[in-house]
Chains A and B, each alone.
Chain A
Amino acid sequence: MQKATQIVEALLFASDAPLTAADLARADASLDEDVVEAAVRALRIEYERTGRAFDVYELAGGYQILTRPEFEPYLERFATVPRPARLSAAALEVLAIIAYRQPIGRAEIEEIRGVGSAGVLRTLQDRALIDAVGRAEALGRPLLYGTTDRFLEHFGFRSLEDLPRPENLPVVLREPAAPEVDAAPPEADAAPDAGAAPAADAAADAAGPSEADAVPADASGAPPAS
């Protein structure tokens, strides 16, 4: 392995959060973003070739070493602390609205959901999944909310582009129609270049919620281990 690759590996190994290519490039004068990206590609190939239990994933615009999904059962059994709490259905609803309509104020969120949402908003803000990003011009200059990098990390998205596209959902804002299928499933070639985030396939798997349930997508560019 080349030295640049090893430097990138050392940083990724030591970090418990995603590091961007720019972050990583700051570590040494020999690095720039292109070198870092090449190093990440080299690492992914190396990890796959040698059957590592982990891989480099793309999250929130950065890179992070995470275990491959097939090791979840062992890790879960080993954990002595409760896993991070999954979000409530109400919290997911509010996040969905904010993610697609940001920046958006509380009143509009409540209008869409038909229920008060102040408590949920506070919880989401406490968990740093959303943040106040500004104020509306409207009366009282209400706060406007947007999603954070933490949001992307939490759901395993590389960027907001990974969110399911409305046109791939069963269309409900027009005539109800048969669920549309993405013309070119990004899953098609999970070749080495696919620095796919863990949940990228969940997003790509936009044909319908039922399918998302049936196929706990885990391929995400991972090699057929074992």
Chain B
Amino acid sequence: MEASVAAGEDAFIVELDRFHGPLDLLLHLIREQDIDIFDIPIARITEQFLRAIEGVERLGLDRAGDFLEMAAMLIRIKVRMLLPRRGDEEEEAEDPRAELVRRLLEYEHFREIAQHLEAAERDRLRHAGRGYVPPRPEPAAADAELELVWEDVWAAVLAFAERTRPPAEHRVTPRLVPIEEKIALILDTLAQFARIELHRLVAPYGDRLHTVVTLMASLELARRRALAIRQSEPFAAVWLYRRNGIAANAEGDADR
């Protein structure tokens, strides 16, 4: 819903986009025209507000809803203002605008504080502490990329999988090996050691399925950039390297 359109009828949306919400827009209308906030000419303001939010639906449902809700409130107030006052019934009948005025003032109050915060932030940013000049990049493993072709890895894994097969007396019924288990195993290991030979992670199991799943877990973690895989030459040992400063669940920070 970023309305970055330059001109034409969409220019209007850009205009509306300037406002952080209906209260912001309403305050703008009131302050711009030097209107006494305690005596808002509700009919005029309502009309201006409605004109300003024409085409608001293009801001997206959520944001449009906020503006439309305010529009409804304004119209409701306008209607109540038009209704004849039944004098005797409620002597102290509250001005229908009172609640709106309270909200506008409260919002304006916080908007002002926000401006103070902005000034404080600006001042703080004029000071620099240690770390302002970024630290030198970590050498070696941290930068290592997965530079192997799949076949190399595969061949190496198969080689030591064969090598380590135990003298199988009897076969146990195969059970599923969840990849999460292997991911956890690798992460736990790398939490303790900066690097580990893949072989050492699978040898204790002596089972091809474990080997395959551990390899898949390694590749998955490499894809998440949680570790780096290195092999000095084809058929050599495969090493898993911890990547510095990378959290295990480095996935999914889509939100800004």
Listed in ascending order, the chain A residues whose CB lies under 8 Å from chain B are: 13-17, 57, 64-69, 71-72, 75, 78-81, 83-84, 86-87, 89-90, 92-93, 95-97, 99-100, 112-116, 119, 122-123, 126, 153-157, 163-164, 166, 169-170, 172-173, 176, 198-199, 201-203, 205-206, 209, 212-213, 216-218
Q: Closest residue of chain B to A70, judged by CB?
A: B126
Question: Looking at A15, A93, A126, A176, which has the most chain B CB atoms within 10 Å of its CB?
Answer: A93
Q: What residues of chain B lie closer than 8 Å to A86, measured between beta carbons?
A: 118, 121-122, 125
Of A15, A68, A90, the contact of B127 (CB 8 Å cutoff): A68
Q: What residues of chain A lie closer than 8 Å to B112, measured between beta carbons?
A: 169-170, 172, 209
CB atoms of A172 and B105 under 8 A apart: yes
Q: How far is the CB of B247 from chain A (nearest CB, A)?
A: 13
Residue B120 interfacial (CB < 8 Å):
yes
Q: What residues of chain A lie closer than 8 Å to B111, measured between beta carbons?
A: 93, 96
CB atoms of B113 and A202 under 8 A apart: no
Q: How far is the CB of B95 from chain A (nearest CB, A)?
A: 15
Of A17, A90, A153, A164, the contact of B113 (CB 8 Å cutoff): A164
Q: What residues of chain A lie closer than 8 Å to B108, measured between beta carbons?
A: 172
Q: Known contacts A90-B20, A163-B113: does B130 contact A202 (CB below 8 Å)?
A: no
Question: A113 CA to B22 CA in the complex, in Å?
Answer: 9
CB atoms of A67 and B128 under 8 A apart: yes
CB atoms of A114 and B23 under 8 A apart: yes
Q: How large is the interface on B (under 10, 10 to 19, 20 to 34, 35 or more residues)?
A: 35 or more
CB atoms of A96 and B129 under 8 A apart: no
Q: What residues of chain B lie closer than 8 Å to A14, measured between beta carbons?
A: 130
Question: Chain B's interface: helix, strand, loop or mixed, by majority?
Answer: helix
CB atoms of B63 and A69 under 8 A apart: no
CB atoms of B120 and A79 under 8 A apart: no
Question: A92 CA to B109 CA in the complex, in Å?
Answer: 13
CB pairs A–B below 8 angstroms (8 shown): A72-B125, A72-B127, A75-B133, A87-B121, A115-B22, A116-B63, A209-B112, A212-B115
Q: How far is the CB of B220 from chain A (nearest CB, A)?
A: 25
Encode B64-75 as 1/0 by CB contact (under 8 A) with A. 001000100000
Of B106, B115, B130, the contact of A112 (CB 8 Å cutoff): B106
Q: What residues of chain A lie closer than 8 Å to B212, measured between beta carbons?
A: none
Of B105, B117, B133, the contact of A155 (CB 8 Å cutoff): B117
CB atoms of A93 and B20 under 8 A apart: yes
Question: A205 CA to B106 CA in the complex, in Å?
Answer: 21
Q: Closest residue of chain B to A93, judged by CB?
A: B114
Q: Known contacts A57-B127, A122-B255: does B121 contact A155 (CB below 8 Å)?
A: yes
Of B110, B120, B124, B130, the contact of A15 (CB 8 Å cutoff): B130
Question: Looking at B37, B110, B131, which has the most chain A CB atoms within 10 Å of its CB?
Answer: B110
